[in-house]
A and B are shown apart, each in its own frame.
Chain A
Amino acid sequence: MSLVELAAALFLLCGCAFFLAGTLGLLRFPDTLSRLHALTKADNVGLLLICIGLAIQSGSLRASLQLGLVWLLALTASTVSAHLVARRAHRQSNGAGR
């Protein structure tokens, strides 16, 4: 196994570990806000690590840029959806109703 393959595998494994941690947080944390906290942070970094690992494996600039785009898009979408979920949870807990 070459050094490049080793680095790629390391990134992929680290990414999976982040996903695992985020999922554990989603399942185990007590309320909506802390679950979001676990999920968004861990998953965004996890996806970045996996994208880096795959980019190293692909060895092409074009594929790497595409993977970067995938990460950016997922980052944008998860930021906004987490914000919306948190906003709703915050309002409900403040008794402002739906």
Chain B
Amino acid sequence: MMLLAFDLLLAAGLLGLAVLVVAGPTLFVSLVAYTVFGLLMAVAWARLGAPDLALAEAAIGAGLTGAMLMLSYRRLLAIRPERTGQRLVRRSRLALPIALACTVLSAGLFMALAGLPEPQRSAGGDALAATAQSEVGNPVTAVLLLFRGYDTLLELLVLLVAWLGVAMVQAQARPSAPRPPAPVPLLDALLAAVVPGTVLVGGYLLHAGGQAPGGAFQAGAVLAAAGVLMALAGRLQPRARATPVQAGLLVLGLLVFTAAGLWPLAAGQPLLALDGLATVYAVEAAMTVSIALGLCLLFLGAAGLGSK
């Protein structure tokens, strides 16, 4: 009963926030609503029993994306101050009919799907059965790396392409060199306590990912959060070029995954048929580094990093 009330409140909150994101009075309200939406979405995933998704959503959806949007908003304030006060969308007369039509369509789809018989054999069941035979205990990691490795490999490529895009437009997006913020003693104390803790949590998530909720994406996002914190405090500065080491770390995940994926071919196995827990951990660790650096650079909107 209490849980049903909580779920209904959660669903209503998500819908309300979604409306606010699209039709908020100002851009700033929409951005804040989007961040809170990500946070509630993480709670929703947790309620649905998907802790992996909840972790990723909280770290990337609410944390990193929210911070990135706020930073973009500040740049927008500097570049085009007149844009920030405007309403994003003017409400059209068609809005209500379209919303009603969508509701009817969703209800119809729901009814149709609810009427379908329970399938005898589903991909989820197959994946769980295959996970039990592998050395990987976490079904999510097993699916990501063992059963649909192609997909995960290309996700790394997407991150790299996004970084390339940032590297190309960075000069236009950052018209003036950012002023380093004035030193705050309290902030330094926070960094000294939080950054090592973040590295610890990231390492734990990576290690846990083999058998329990966690994995490369969550660990990478948590590590990237430490980078974001240091960037906001002025400890890390954007640079127009990546150093060779940074470029190497950016492609490390892709390289290690590709090499580990090609190796089975030599033994007559299919492409990307990773074998053994050690291989999985090696690929995950390399992915974590690339994801962390990639996300951090995307946040900074820069091709490379430098210290103060």
Contacts and interface: CB of A to CB of B under 8 A. Distances in A.
Interface of A: 73, 76-77, 79-80, 83-84, 87
Contacts of A73: 194, 197
Interface in B174-210: 184, 186-187, 189-190, 193-194, 197
Sorted from nearest, which 3 A-B pairs have the closest CB atoms? A80-B190, A83-B186, A80-B186
B187 A76 contact: no
A13 B204 CA distance: 33
A77 B184 contact: no
B193 A76 contact: yes
A73 B201 CA distance: 13
Contacts, number: 18
Nearest to A80: B190
A84 B184 contact: yes
Contacts of B197: 73
A84 B187 contact: yes
B67 to A, nearest CB: 12
Contacts of A87: 184
Contacts of A83: 184, 186
Size band of the interface chain B makes with A: under 10
User: Which secondary structure dominates chain B's binding surface?
Assistant: helix
Interface in B140-185: 184
Contacts of B189: 80
18 contacts: A73-B194, A73-B197, A76-B190, A76-B193, A76-B194, A77-B190, A77-B194, A79-B186, A80-B186, A80-B187, A80-B189, A80-B190, A83-B184, A83-B186, A84-B184, A84-B186, A84-B187, A87-B184
Nearest to B179: A98
A87 B186 CA distance: 11
A12 to B, nearest CB: 12
A77 B193 CA distance: 10
Contacts of A79: 186
Given A73-B197, A83-B184, A87-B184, 15 more contacts: A73-B194, A76-B190, A76-B193, A76-B194, A77-B190, A77-B194, A79-B186, A80-B186, A80-B187, A80-B189, A80-B190, A83-B186, A84-B184, A84-B186, A84-B187
A77 B229 CA distance: 11
Contacts of B184: 83-84, 87
Nearest to A81: B190
Nearest to B193: A76
A57 B186 CA distance: 35
A73 B187 CA distance: 14
B37 to A, nearest CB: 18
B75 to A, nearest CB: 14
Nearest to A91: B182
Contacts of A84: 184, 186-187
Residue of B189, B190, B194, B197 with highest tally of chain A CB at under 10 A: B190
Contacts of A77: 190, 194
Residue of B186, B187, B189, B194 with highest tally of chain A CB at under 10 A: B186
Nearest to A87: B184
Nearest to A79: B186
Contacts of B194: 73, 76-77
A87 B197 CA distance: 26
Residue of A73, A84, A87 with highest tally of chain B CB at under 10 A: A84
Nearest to B190: A80
Contacts of B186: 79-80, 83-84
A79 B185 CA distance: 13
A84 B182 CA distance: 11
A84 B232 CA distance: 12
A79 B186 CA distance: 9
Contacts of A80: 186-187, 189-190
